[in-house]
Amino acid sequence: MEYSVSQTSRTVVVLAAGEGKRMKSATPKVLHPLLGRTLVGHVLAAATAAGADRTIVVVGHKAEQVEAHLAEIAPEATAVLQAQQNGTGHAVRIALEAAPDLSGTVVVLNGDVPLLRAETVASLVAAHESQARGATVLAAEVPDPAGLGRIVRDASGNLERIVEERDASPRERAIREINAGIYAFDAAALREALGKLSTDNDQGEEYLTDVFGLLASVGRAVGVFVAPDAEETLGCNDRAELASLRALLRDRVNTAWMRSGVSILDPATTWIDVTVSLEPDAVVDQNSQLVGSTSVAAGAVVGPDTTLIDTSVGAGATVLRTHSIGAEVGPAASVGPFSFLRPGTRLARKSKVGGFVETKNAELGEGAKVPHLSYVGDASIGAQANIGAGTIFANYDGVRKSRTTVGEAAFVGSDTVLIAPVEVGPGAYVAAGSAIAQEVPSGSLGVTRAEQRNVEGWTSRRRPGTVSAAAAERFAAEGDGAAAE
């Protein structure tokens, strides 16, 4: 495709009508997620990257759900309904019937083969077109071919036919070269052969694979392209296979990032979606997941034990043991440990969200700090402001949410409740333990505490015989000198 200079039009047909019974899922198989895309999303991404001019997706089982997903991720693709799943040949026949003008090369991809690389699709197409064949199948040598179609070659190694395991002779079953379910066809040859498919097989289905025998029998060239990496051809039939594909893709993604200069300290416990972007010299520590549109800039350190969903991390920032969704962490900012950043969190350069702090719709200005044990909801905090330990931004009155503004270099004492809507002016102070519901003007101190009263001798009178009473009595006998030790 992109590697070829010819002007042949390339159409990709993705087969995605099957239910995937062995997944035992209410979700159609091709919609199961795998590191940032659905199974069919990966296949479509490979098709696009390989330069498909046109994409048709054959849908069937839970078609509305699959179509809705396609509209979201690949609006340019055409969905074609295969109401009854009468086999892979039937599926492609229906796709071609929906596109009567189609010519050039038709690439057929399985919707459940998500590790296939765009480069491999392009090489398959290049091999197919350069030989002017009627059909070329992508094959792979695998250790365990169980359940898959086998590539049957003649004495000189040419493709004779593709046989399904259940229709194969014992000798054919011993073949370890399998059909990956991925093909390139000449559109006209394919159309003609599909019209001749029979259902004379163990499943009573129209087999796409029979196109090879049919074309060969009329003297049309058919061939095999062997996948450079058999791993790419793995399909997904149940959850266990999905988990192994996920681990393989994790390794592929992590290796690529490490080669591009990202430090991944423990690749086996680091899960990075294919949609994430990382800059060289970013560091990802163990047990971390980077999800969706997350990005991490140069020199930032993420993890250990961190999940970032749709979160951007600026250069040189640190994000330690944190769960974050929809947040922007500015350059050299610091987050964690045990922080929870929620959507709309925007942390400017060098700001800090410390241990056990939750933020939502919260902006921290440059160098602002919320170091310990706070909830910051619907707030703007000015540059250099300091929010004391245990401060709560009370943003919800049970009916509506309101905003709090804390001005530049304001200082909010520990254990304060800021009851929104409320404003603390630039350079204002709030005394520890206050409940602030009215504006604290710039430069003022806001205090709402009751005055302190000490009841002398209370411990000995009301808690006689306790260790506390004994300590107080000893202190009274020994005087201040002992207390100062």
Residues with a known catalytic role: 372
The dihedral over CA atoms of 14, 19, 24, 28, expressed in degrees to the nearest 10, equals 60
Residue 87 vs 303, nearer CB to ligand UD1: 87
| Closer to ligand UD1 by Cβ: residue 15 or 272 | 15
Candidates 12, 13, 15, 74; binder of ligand UD1 (CB under 6 A) is: 15
Distance CA 95, CA 92 (A): 5
Q: What is the DSSP letter of 76?
A: T
179 part of the interface to ligand UD1, by CB under 6 A? yes
List of residues 6+ apart from 213 with CB closer than 8 A = 160, 161, 162
Q: Which residues within the stretch 41-80 sit at the binding site for ligand UD1 (CB under 6 A)?
A: 58, 60
Nearer to ligand UD1, 35 or 113 (CB): 113
Size of the site for ligand UD1 (CB under 6 A): 28
Helices 187-194/210-217 angle, 10° precision: 100
- Please give the residues from 192 up to 221 whose contact with ligand UD1 meets the rule CB under 6 A: 207-209
Query: Rounded distance, CA 447 to CA 449, Å?
Result: 6
Select the residue interacting with ligand UD1 from 88, 295, 312, 361 (CB under 6 A): 88
Round to whole Å and give the CA distance between 421 and 192.
72
How far apart are CB 164 and ligand UD1 at their closest, in Å?
6
Task: For residue 421, say if its preceding peptide bond is cis, omega within 30 degrees of 0.
Answer: yes
User: For 18, which DSSP code?
Assistant: -
CB 249 within 8 A of CB 271: no
Judged by CB under 6 A, does residue 36 bind ligand UD1? no
DSSP assignment of 308-333: EES-EE-TT-EE-SEEEES-EE-TT-
DSSP string, 51-75: T-SEEEEEEBTBHHHHHHHHHHH-T
**According to CB under 6 A, which one of 129, 164, 231, 423 is a site residue for ligand UD1?**
164
Compute CA 202 distance to the chain's CA centroid, rounded to the nearest angstrom.
40
Q: Does 227 bind ligand UD1 (CB under 6 A)?
A: no
**Of these, 44, 70, 159, 178, which contacts ligand UD1 (CB under 6 A)?**
178
Q: Candidates 13, 17, 80, 190: give the one binding ligand UD1 (CB under 6 A).
A: 17
Binding mask 117-156 for ligand UD1 (x = CB under 6 A): -------------------------------xx-------
User: Between 229 and 268, how does the x/- string for binding to ligand UD1 read (CB under 6 A)?
Assistant: ------x---------------------------------
Strands annotated E in 60-120: 78-81, 105-110
Report the site for ligand UD1 in 353-382 (rule: CB under 6 A): none
Residue ranges that bind ligand UD1, judged by CB under 6 A = 15-18, 58, 60, 82, 85-88, 90-91, 110-112, 148-149, 162, 164, 178-181, 207-209, 235
